[in-house]
Structure 1
Amino acid sequence: MTAHLITGAGSGIGAAVTERLAGRGDELWLLARDAGRAKELQQRYPGARTVVGDLAHPEKLSWAFGHQELPDRLDSLLHIAGVVELGAIGGTTPKGWNAQLAANLVSPAELTRLMLPQLRVAHGHVVFVNSGAGLRANAEWGAYAASKHGLKALADSLRLEEHDTGVRVTSVYPGRTATPMQADVHRQEGKMYDESRWIDPSSVAVTILAALDLPRDAEVTDLSVRPGR
């Protein structure tokens, strides 16, 4: 059975991906920030396994994983969780920088490091759900864009380092998608939120699964998804 470890399974793109993988009977390991969230995910996805670890504290992930059961092999590691806090460079404190860098960059790097042995066994696939902000930075998006530019660099380096092990690496760059995070971004921007203007999370999920299901003789390295209306 194909096994996946997914971050961000509770909402948005992560939930859309998890629902599709669950629907086809794959083995799911879902990262939860705490025991309460783990219980919620287990109720939502019967049969799924949970692993507790807080992406806000990447330095604690190794200890946390050392006290829990983990998969013996892993066909994919899907980094979908993320946080965003808008603000001008002149007004963003080290705390603001560190919060976004920890969740969006350092934790994906650490989680990948911890799961690489299982991924190598399965000749697995690491997917980083990045953002359009990982390709360009706009005003008020400096800290978030920096974390996502760093995530692109992480993926590009990992792809070269793991090529001979058979581990594939894909970066996905969705445009604005109708998720709870997008609603929060609009609130921060002081704009009205109309989810019908943006990409449905299930459309991004389709592209992610297409990359996962690609035959072994090929690899999708970078994939941009933009609103079509």
Structure 2
Amino acid sequence: MRSKMGSESEAMAEQNSMEALAKLEHRQTLILHRISNLELKYLPNLDSPPSSVPSDGADDDTVARLSAILRTNAVNDFSFKRVPSDYYDWALEARRDVLDAASIDHLCKSIVLVNTQAPSHVVDCSDRNNSKYYIVVVQYTAKFNAEAVKSFLYSLNDGKIAKKKFNLRLAPEETSVKLTGYEHNGVTCIGMKTDIPVILDEAIVKLNPDYFWLGGGEIDLKLGIRTSEFINFVKPFIIKCS
């Protein structure tokens, strides 16, 4: 009798153990499925990794042209990298990793602005202190402050131009392309068709290390550059605008 009861207890224990194991395997499957979904959502496609383009860019017209401009102007610490077409669908952390940037704060963008309230005689970029257009370089992690730029330009002109005559807004894409020669997400301050005055957010100047990334002239091309060399060449206005 005891032997029979013992066998039944062992069988029940074995069944409970099998059920527990099945539940554990089910949980593991769910966890792995969630991890897979997160990888697909936030990480680049490992089957098509971006290629790193040497800074001499011998086989690339854009890289070769911009590299020549940079070297001619004493900029030597820079690099170009190609990224996949879905780069802008990635989280900033994934973009940082593929560019080997120091942090997500080192990822920057160039925005073309138009002064919609400029006096009628201000139609181009001939006067950098009172230009119709400006190009602002800010971090992706920062929020651009147009009012800060407005106040800066008002002070830059010693208050001789009414503050209401400065109203910086994002330029239409077709205007940006016409002025810079670069498409959306490919805009860079180097080699533009028009010599647009550049405004650099001071937060970028304070980055450590002093090497940041921005558009490289094509949508899938990014340019990394030493901040000090960028400043010496471009000679931007440096203000707090984020």
TM-score normalised per structure 2:
0.25
TM-score normalised per structure 1:
0.26
* Bigger fraction of residues in strand: 2
Which structure's CA Rg is the greater one? 2
